[in-house]
Structure 1
Amino acid sequence: MVDVIRTVVVDDDPFVRMGLTMVLGAGDGIEVVGEASDGAEAIELVERLRPDVVLMDIRMNGMDGLTATAQLRSRADGPAVIVLTAFDTDKHLLRALRAGANGFLLKDTPPDDILASVRRAAGGESILAPAALTRLIDHVVRLEDQELVESRAVQTRAALDRLTAREREVAVAISEGRSNMDIAASLYMSVATVKANVTRILAKLGCTNRVQVAILVHEARDVPSSAAADRHRADPGGGRA
C-alpha cells in the first residue's frame, strides 16, 4: 500500500463533500487532494492529480457517478472507486459495481468504517460484504425484465465455464468475501498460487476486480428462472427455512 493515500471526493452536495473531507482528513496516512461536484469534473481531477481512491456519488447533476466510474475503471492505471449511496438497494448501485467500482459505502457510514474502507480499497481489496451483494442482486432481479435476467444468467454461466475446476473453487471463495489467505487455507493452496489463480480468473472473465467476479458467481448461481421468479412473487418467503 502507498505511504499516503491520495483521495478525491465527488458529490454534488457541498455539505456531503465537506463532511467526507473532514473525516478523511482526520485519518492517518490519508490526504484529500481534490473535490468535484460531478462526474466530468471528477475525471478531469483524476487525470491531473492521479489519486489512489475516489469516493463517488451515484446520483449527480451533469455527468453521473455511473458514467464517471465506468470511464475511470476502464483505464489500466485508474484509481480505486468507492461508490457513495443513500441506500443499499439502489438499482443503479449494481450497475456501478458491474462497471468496476471496488465497492460501496452508505452515506451514513461511521467515520472509522469510511477510513478503513479507503485503506482497503487503496490496498486492492473489495469493499463489499457478500450478504449485501446477494441482497442487492436479489432486489434488482425482481425489478428487471425476466427475459433480460435469463439472458444475462446464460451468458454468465458460459463465462464461468471457461474456468478450470480449481479456478471455479477460487471464484466461489471470492464471492464469499474471503481473503487470499483464507482461500489458501480452505483450499490447501499457497497464497502465491491463490494470487495466480485470481489473476487468471480476472483475465478469463474480463473483470477488473474481485467485486465483478463475485457478481458473476452470484448471478450464475442465484439468479432465478422465470418460473422461480413467478413463485417468488406468489410466495415472497420462497419456501426458505
Structure 2
Amino acid sequence: MNEDAAPIRVLIADDQAIVRDGLATVLGLLPDVEVVGTAANGNEAVRLAVLERPDMILMDLRMPGLDGVAATARLRTEVPDAAVLVLTTYADDESILAALRAGATGYLTKDAGRAELAAAVRSVARGQATFAAEVGAAVIAAATTSPPRKPGNAADALGSRFPELTRREAEVLALIVNGLSNAAIASELFVGVTTVKTHINAIFAKLGVRDRASAIARVAGN
C-alpha cells in the first residue's frame, strides 16, 4: 500500500451481528481499508453513510425495515459518491437484478473468500464494477424477452435488446457483463486493448451511460 494514499473508508450493513463483526475484523486487517461504521438495517446504513461519507458500503440485501435494495436506491440520491457492494446469501435472478437496478456497483455472495472480498472492495472503490459469476447470466437473461438467434449466445441477446450496437459492440458488452477486464476482452476477441477501449466508448455513448456499472444496470433493465 502507498503510505500516502488515503485508506478506503468502508461502512458495513448487515442485520446479523456475527456477520458484521466478522466482516469488520477481516476488512480491518487490510492495510488500505478503514471500517468507519456498521449498521444493522438499511435505515441505519443510510443515516451513517450521510454522517460518515464512506467511499463504499458493503450491503446485505435482506434486512428488517429498509432492505438493502431500497437502501441502495436511497444512497444513490443521498450519498451519490459512495459505491455499494452487495454481499448477500442470495444469488437468485430477482435479487441480482433488483440490486443492480437500484445502483449497486458490485455483487458478491457470502461464500466468497477473503481474497475475493478484498479484491472486490478495492475494485469497487476504484469505480470498477465487480460481480460474482452468477450475475452475468442473470443480466444476460434479462436483456431480452425473445430468445437469441443461437441458444446461449449472449451477444445475440444483447444485439436483440440494443439494435443500435454493432455485432462487435454487443460481443464486448456481453464480456463486460461477465466481468472481464479490458485486457481479458482483448484476449478473448483477439484484438488490441486500444480497440476494446474504442468499442467500450461507443457502447457507453449509444447506451447513454458513463461507466461499466451503469452499462450493466442498463442491460439489467434500469
- Note the C-alpha offset of 1:202: 3.3
- Note the C-alpha offset of 1:80: 1.8
Counterpart check, 1:6 vs 2:9:
yes
Residues 9 and 54, structure 1, Cα contact 8 Å, conserved in 2: yes
- Note the C-alpha offset of 1:179: 0.8
Q: Which runs of 5+ in 1 are unaligned?
A: 142-148, 220-241
Counterpart check, 1:85 vs 2:80:
no
Match of 1:23 among 23, 26, 37: 26
> After the TM superposition, which residues 19-58 of structure 1 pair with which residues of structure 2 at under 5 Å, given as runs?
19-58=22-61
- Number of matched pairs: 207
Superposition RMSD in Å: 3.5
**Structure with a larger share of its residues in helix:** 1
Calculate the TM-score normalised by the size of structure 2: 0.74
- Find the aligned partners of 2:161 and 2:103 in 1 and give their Cα distance: 17
- Note the C-alpha offset of 1:81: 1.1
Counterpart check, 1:170 vs 2:172:
yes
Q: Which runs of 5+ in 2 are unaligned?
A: 149-157
- Find the aligned partners of 2:137 and 2:185 in 1 and give their Cα distance: 23
Which residue is 2:117 aligned to? 114
- Find the aligned partners of 2:178 and 2:136 in 1 and give their Cα distance: 10
Match of 2:145 among 123, 146, 150: 150
CA deviations on 1:101-122 (whole Å, 9 max, x unpaired) are: 1222222322222112111111
Give, as a single letter, the amino acid of the residue that structure 1 aligns with 2:26. V
Which residue is 1:238 aligned to? none
Counterpart check, 1:104 vs 2:123:
no
Calculate the TM-score normalised by the size of structure 1: 0.69
Residues 13 and 45, structure 2, Cα contact 8 Å, conserved in 1: yes
Which residue is 1:62 aligned to? 65
CA deviations on 1:92-138 (whole Å, 9 max, x unpaired) are: 232102322122222232222211211111122222244x1255458
